[in-house]
Amino acid sequence: MATTVANLVIRPGDAYSCRINYVNEAGTAINITGETVTLTITADNMTAIALTSGSGLTINYTIGQIDAALTSLQTTSLDKKSNRRYTLRLGVAEKMILVGDIEDEPR
């Protein structure tokens, strides 16, 4: 499967959450049991935040459902940083399944 590109829009200082459903081209859920899942956010060309299962990511492996949550402190830490991007990876080989920029939501 190809890597999907989608930007995230967050409001610095507010908690943020999103649900990612990993599905095939037909829309059928992909079982990711046994996979390591990581979501990394970079800012100013450095790793700013790393989320894993139980630490910002809640994962239902059998249906490929990944819930990501950032605290208000984490979103504040991204404020006024440049080159903010995120990458969601699966497995030891770190297959990229979702990437994109992080944009500010205006107040």
Rounded CA Rg of the chain: 14
E strands within 11-93? Answer: 16-21, 37-43, 46-53, 56-60, 65-70, 85-90
Mean pLDDT per block of 10 residues along the chain (107 residues) reads 86 95 93 95 96 97 97 95 94 82 85
The pLDDT of residue 95 is 85
The pLDDT of residue 93 is 66
The pLDDT of residue 105 is 84
The pLDDT of residue 3 is 84
* Inter-residue contact 103 to 52 (CB < 8 Å): no
Helix (H) / strand (E) containing 75: helix 72-78
pTM of the model: 0.90
